[in-house]
């Protein structure tokens, strides 16, 4: 059947099982949006306040479901406004399809109105991208985009389509989604070798990351921990894989990780790294990281092996497939002495300013104690992000959504919108700071328009908290451009957007506001005044080790 290019876009989306897209229309995208009008009963489009918010919403939709997020934009500034969202997804290995429309092919290269080579711009931050200026390439480019985004290490793919292609007609034949390329095959002898290493280890620890979530390896990981009696620590990307009450759970690792997690890795004789990349926020001093241990690394991306830390044993493959092959070779054992030693590392760290009326941990405890285990938490980047990673009572995968690799301020509200749309039956809590929130608070209009019951909790310390903390500790209190003292009245701004807002200075006020917010059918903001001297602790400085950990 003959269809226009814009109709082909819709048909391929349906082939891929897409029923939800986010975006913002514009001149070069008019044909696509005209076809979207005709497909509106099959594909629901959510318009955001800004294209960056749309990209983050598609990202949050993907992270909270395991599906592929899809975002539309027009050319020029519309496309470039997606860049931060695409880079965020790239750094955290999130499957995302960005479909942009460019000027017509005969106008390319002439500095035409709103012309940008978005494929050139996004080349370093996509798994692959396509420039489609021939209609006979369109369907295959879109189908391959979904395949590439989801096979191996997941990530974003961009498809840029010239406007004339969206108007042309072409013979279209429906197809089923392309099969994903098989995961890398690993050698059974390698599996047996690392099993032998695990079996003779006296002080093993598992350190895992987002690859466990991407591969769906939660059950296999827990089986390994229980069978071989191994404690575990994780990166932010893997929060929730192990229940926070699980005695094997050492908590977060790295710069703001727990004393127990960092001390255990430092004393271990074996580190089993699963689906994680030894980032500079974990291996702050690569030459000293796990310096007493042999290191096994399992990752689907061969480029991550020996990239940041020298590895003794490696297996390139899907984490779940590797663990399934490994488990029969791992002996059931007990590491009683090691577990007792690790338990002794658990140490209470002062986390709040003495005498403060409203403390970060108390805020998060109140949220967790009044919501269920299926609650989804979305954050921006900064102190509040780390407090959330440390204190949220994590229970399940896909329930903690944050920008780990890129550390994107302004990510949280868009991500919360995508997560709430994807999970209408679940509670979504957006935890943010006043610095981050000012970047994309305009997405409140999106939450109001679609009546999304997102509760936004603002940690308002009137400074750029994390940078302020570093300036305090390392820069002689030279507070260059970090003391904001903005006069924003969040309750009044909320009212202007058409939502309910609260202002809290004490724990009692927050408890009352939060309980009321849970009864409101629509978005809510709760502003929490906290002390600017609150710290994210523990903290290991860049280049430091456990010996340099600041705990007070």
* pLDDT at residue 348 tops 80: no
**7 versus 348: which is more confidently predicted?**
7
Measure the CA–CA gap between 540 and 547, rounded to whole angstroms. Answer: 9
Measure the CA–CA gap between 221 and 208, rounded to whole angstroms. Answer: 9
Active-site residue (options: 163, 248, 263, 500): 163
The dihedral region occupied by 398, where left means phi > 0, alpha psi between -120 and 50, and beta the remainder, is left
Residue 200 CB neighbour total at 10 angstroms: 11
Say whether 220 is catalytic. Answer: no
* pLDDT at residue 256 tops 90: yes
Write a three-state SS string for 208-261: ECHHHHHHCCHHHHHHHHHHHCCCEEECHHHCCCCCCCCCCEEEECCCCCCHHH
Gap between the terminal Cα atoms of the chain? 69
Return the CATH superfamily for domain 2-171.
Answer: Thiamin diphosphate (ThDP)-binding fold, Pyr/PP domains (3.40.50.970)
Say whether 163 is catalytic. Answer: yes
Active-site residue (options: 67, 107, 114, 193): 114
CB 382 within 8 A of CB 410: no
* pLDDT at residue 243 tops 80: yes
pLDDT at residue 350, as a whole number: 64
CATH hierarchy code of domain 188-345 = 3.40.50.1220
Q: Give the tens place of pLDDT for each residue, 87-136.
A: 999 999 999 999 999 999 999 999 999 999 999 999 999 999 999 999 99
Say whether 390 is catalytic. Answer: no
Give residue 4's pLDDT band: very low, low, confident or very high (50, 70, 90): very high
- 3-state DSSP call for residue 415? helix
HSE (CB half, 13 Å, CA atoms) of 454? 34
CA dihedral 124, 129, 134, 139 (to 10 degrees): 180
CB 453 within 8 A of CB 429: no
* pLDDT at residue 356 tops 90: no
| Structural fold of domain 360-529 | Rossmann fold (3.40.50)
Say whether 193 is catalytic. Answer: no
Which residue spans of the chain are classified as CATH 3.40.50.970?
2-171, 360-529
Q: Average pLDDT, stretch 66-72? A: 98
CB 177 within 8 A of CB 143: yes
Q: Average pLDDT, stretch 17-30? A: 98
Measure the CA–CA gap between 358 and 460, rounded to whole angstroms. Answer: 11
* pLDDT at residue 352 tops 80: no
Which residues partner with 527 through β-bridges? 458, 503
Handedness of CA 468, 471, 476, 480 (dihedral sign): negative
pLDDT at residue 355, as a whole number: 79
Handedness of CA 140, 141, 142, 146 (dihedral sign): positive
**Residue percentage of the chain with pLDDT more than 70:** 99
Handedness of CA 301, 13, 15, 61 (dihedral sign): positive
Active-site residue (options: 7, 11, 22, 51): 51
pLDDT at residue 351, as a whole number: 63
* pLDDT at residue 349 tops 80: no
Active-site residue (options: 113, 169, 188, 292): 113
Q: 275-289, 345-359, 364-378: which range is least confident on average?
A: 345-359
pLDDT at residue 405, as a whole number: 96
Measure the CA–CA gap between 400 and 431, rounded to whole angstroms. Answer: 11
**Residue percentage of the chain with pLDDT more than 90:** 97
Measure the CA–CA gap between 489 and 128, rounded to whole angstroms. Answer: 43
Q: Average pLDDT, stretch 278-296? A: 95
Q: Give the tens place of pLDDT for each residue, 382-435.
A: 999 999 999 999 999 999 999 999 999 999 999 999 999 999 999 999 999 999
Q: Give the tens place of pLDDT for each residue, 171-222.
A: 999 999 999 999 999 999 999 999 999 999 999 999 999 999 999 999 999 9
Which residues partner with 161 through β-bridges? 101, 132
HSE (CB half, 13 Å, CA atoms) of 501? 19
Q: Give the tens place of pLDDT for each residue, 159-169.
A: 999 999 999 99
CB 309 within 8 A of CB 289: yes
Show the tokens assigned to 4.
Answer: 């226009």
Mean pLDDT of the chain: 96
pLDDT at residue 96, as a whole number: 98
* pLDDT at residue 485 tops 80: yes
Q: Give the tens place of pLDDT for each residue, 430-484.
A: 999 999 999 999 999 999 999 999 999 999 999 999 999 999 999 999 999 999 9
Measure the CA–CA gap between 231 and 263, rounded to whole angstroms. Answer: 12
* pLDDT at residue 551 tops 90: no
| pTM: predicted TM-score of the whole model, two decimal places | 0.96
Measure the CA–CA gap between 538 and 401, rounded to whole angstroms. Answer: 22
Measure the CA–CA gap between 402 and 411, rounded to whole angstroms. Answer: 8
Helix (H) or strand (E) holding 84: helix 83-91
The Cα-based distances of 344 to 107, 202, 349 in angstroms read 68, 17, 14
* pLDDT at residue 347 tops 90: no
CB 550 within 8 A of CB 538: yes
pLDDT at residue 400, as a whole number: 98
Say whether 255 is catalytic. Answer: no
Q: Which residue from 99, 126, 115 is spatially nearest to 31, judged by alpha carbons? A: 99
Provide the greatest CA pair distance for the chain: 73
């Amino acid at each position: 059947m003959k269809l226009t290019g814009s109709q082909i876009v819709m048909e391929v989306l349906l082939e891929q099982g897409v029923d939800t897209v986010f975006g913002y229309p514009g001149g070069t995208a008019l044909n696509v949006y005209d076809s979207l009008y005709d497909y509106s009963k099959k594909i629901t489009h959510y318009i955001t306040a800004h294209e960056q918010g749309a990209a983050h919403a598609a990202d949050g939709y993907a992270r909270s479901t395991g599906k592929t997020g899809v975002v539309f934009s027009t050319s020029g500034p519309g496309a470039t406004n997606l860049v931060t969202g695409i880079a965020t997804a790239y750094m955290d290995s999130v499957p995302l399809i960005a479909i942009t429309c460019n000027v017509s092919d005969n106008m390319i290269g002439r500095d035409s109105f709103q012309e940008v080579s978005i494929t050139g711009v996004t080349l370093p931050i996509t798994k692959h991208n396509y420039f489609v200026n021939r209609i006979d390439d369109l369907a295959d480019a879109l189908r391959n985009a979904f395949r590439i985004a989801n096979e191996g290490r997941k990530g974003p793919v961009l498809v840029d389509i010239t406007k004339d292609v969206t108007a042309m007609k072409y013979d279209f034949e429906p197809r089923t989604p392309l099969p994903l390329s098989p995961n890398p095959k690993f050698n059974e002898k390698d599996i047996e070798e690392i099993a032998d290493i695990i079996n003779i280890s006296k002080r093993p620890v598992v350190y895992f990351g987002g690859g466990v979530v991407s591969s769906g390896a939660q059950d296999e990981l827990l089986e390994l921990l229980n069978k071989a009696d191994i404690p575990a620590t994780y990166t932010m990307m893997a929060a929730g894989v192990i229940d926070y009450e699980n005695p094997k759970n050492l908590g977060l690792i790295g710069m703001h990780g727990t004393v127990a997690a960092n001390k255990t890795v430092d004393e271990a004789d074996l580190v089993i790294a699963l689906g994680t990349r030894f980032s500079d926020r974990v291996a702050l001093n690569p030459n000293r990281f796990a310096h007493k241990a042999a290191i096994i690394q399992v990752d689907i991306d061969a480029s991550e092996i020996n990239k940041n830390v020298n590895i003794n044993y490696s297996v390139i493959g899907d984490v779940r497939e590797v663990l399934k092959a490994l488990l029969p070779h791992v002996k059931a054992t007990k590491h009683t002495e090691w577990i007792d030693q690790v338990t002794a590392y658990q140490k209470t760290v002062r986390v709040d300013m003495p005498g403060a009326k409203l403390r970060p941990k108390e805020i998060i405890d109140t949220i967790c104690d009044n919501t269920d285990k299926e609650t989804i938490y979305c954050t921006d980047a900064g102190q509040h992000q780390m407090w959330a990673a440390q204190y949220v009572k994590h229970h399940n995968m896909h329930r903690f959504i944050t920008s780990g690799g890129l550390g994107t301020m302004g990510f949280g509200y868009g991500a919360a919108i995508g997560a709430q749309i994807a999970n209408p039956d679940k509670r979504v809590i957006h935890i943010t700071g006043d610095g981050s929130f000012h970047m994309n608070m305009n997405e409140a209009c999106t939450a109001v328009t679609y009546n999304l019951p997102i509760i936004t909790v603002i940690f308002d310390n009137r400074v750029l908290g994390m940078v302020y903390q570093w300036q305090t500790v390392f820069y002689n209190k030279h507070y260059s451009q970090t003391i904001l003292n903005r006069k924003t009245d969040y309750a009044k701004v909320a009212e202007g957007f058409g939502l309910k807002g609260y202002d809290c200075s004490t724990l009692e006020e927050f408890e009352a506001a939060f309980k009321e917010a849970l009864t409101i059918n629509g978005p809510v903001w709760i502003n929490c005044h906290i002390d600017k001297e609150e710290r994210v602790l523990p903290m290991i400085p860049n280049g430091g080790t456990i010996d340099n950990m600041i705990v007070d």
